[in-house]
Amino acid sequence: MLQQAALFLATIVLTPQDKEKKVAWVESLPEAQQTAISKKRGIILYVQPRGEINPPAAFQDRRVIDASEQIAVFVKIRFDEEDPVLAELKIKGAPLVVAFDYHLNPFGSWTGAPGGSQIADAASKIPDWAAANRQLLRQSLNSAINLRDGNDTGGAVRAIQNVLNSGLKGFDEIRQAQQMLQSLADSVFKKIDAMAAEGKTKEATAQYRQAARTFAGTAHAADADVRLAKLHLAAGETQEAIQLALKARRTHAKSAPEAVAKVDEFLAKLTAQGIAEIRSILEEGLKGEPANSRDRLRALAKAYEGTDVSTHAADVLRDLEP
């Protein structure tokens, strides 16, 4: 690859035919990516300012033209704040040149008008840069496999996180790491859930806590916390379940924001359960037992402290006071 790059980067005497050649532009990023994937090439994106008719002179450089034909896919997009493609790439202005691998991992970017040699040089280096990234991902994935096979689940999870937190996307190693993480979590939770089902509450509690530490930084840590909260709830320890869920929400909001949805789902179901209990208490109160209803509402407000149920129970209680 480097030898090929050197050939077209060399200074060449232009013929009249050469002078008429132009960059082989592609007009959309999805098309550019499809072509880049099929040909295993990098992508050079030029974000064109509004009103500009022709790209900068750098794109008339023979080395850039050759690069567009031989080693990279060149795509030109006119800047528009509302363009969803540019918004996804977090591109907020023009002119801008960005070099990507074919997974759209950015290799480098230049505002203004970079020189032709700079663009051609970047295009020539993208394949080797992408290969180096893949090698690093593969090393971490292999390490995770070895640790998993050695029954070091915590070590395997940390190695997997090196892959998933690399900031890269599209590589098959990332998909494999996600699958391995899910498989490890499934295996761990299957064993602990079995303990809980057998009534081994103390052992299951300890193991769920350990799982939350083992999978720290992933959505599975929140899953462990939610399962433990459900264990508390099943034992009638509503307040313990709520406080654990609220703590989990704070803990995972930054490290694994996607995990917060699991905590919120648990809290939403718990809240619905509490509201249903309030309705039940009110119905009994209407049948002639207001004192008992007030006592139950006080207990409910305390048990559900930290949720809307507690606030609602307190409001209803005030309305029932003689």
In a domain, 148, yes or no: no
Helices and strands per DSSP (H, E), number in the chain: 14, 5
Domain count, the chain: 2
CATH (domain of 226): 1.25.40
Distance CA(208)–CA(213), nearest Å, equals 9
In a domain, 71, yes or no: yes
Q: What is the pLDDT of residue 229?
A: 94
What domain range includes position 56? Answer: 2-127
In a domain, 179, yes or no: no
Q: What is the pLDDT of residue 121?
A: 93
Does residue 117 sit in the same domain as residue 210?
A: no
In a domain, 230, yes or no: yes
In a domain, 143, yes or no: no
In a domain, 190, yes or no: no
Longest dimension (CA), the chain: 102
Going edge to edge, which strands form the sheet with 96-100?
A: 25-26, 72-78, 42-48, 96-100, 106-111
Q: What is the pLDDT of residue 74?
A: 96
Distance CA(150)–CA(87), nearest Å, equals 44
Domain final residue, candidates 107, 127, 147 = 127
Tokens coding 26: 């592609």
Q: What is the pLDDT of residue 286?
A: 67
Beta pairing class for 72-78 and 25-26: parallel
Domain final residue, candidates 105, 127, 149 = 127
Are 95 and 112 a contacting pair, CB within 8 Å? yes
Domain final residue, candidates 127, 154, 173 = 127
In a domain, 137, yes or no: no
Are 316 and 278 a contacting pair, CB within 8 Å? yes
pLDDT in tens, the chain (322 residues): 444 444 444 434 444 444 567 898 988 999 999 999 999 999 999 999 988 888 888 999 999 999 999 999 999 999 998 999 899 999 999 999 999 999 999 999 988 767 899 999 999 999 999 999 999 999 999 999 999 999 999 999 999 999 999 999 999 999 999 999 999 999 999 999 999 999 999 999 999 999 999 998 898 998 999 999 999 999 999 999 999 999 888 888 777 777 788 888 988 998 999 999 888 888 776 666 667 788 888 888 898 888 898 888 888 878 766 6
CATH (domain of 88): 3.40.30.10
Are 103 and 126 a contacting pair, CB within 8 Å? no
Does residue 213 sit in the same domain as residue 314?
A: yes
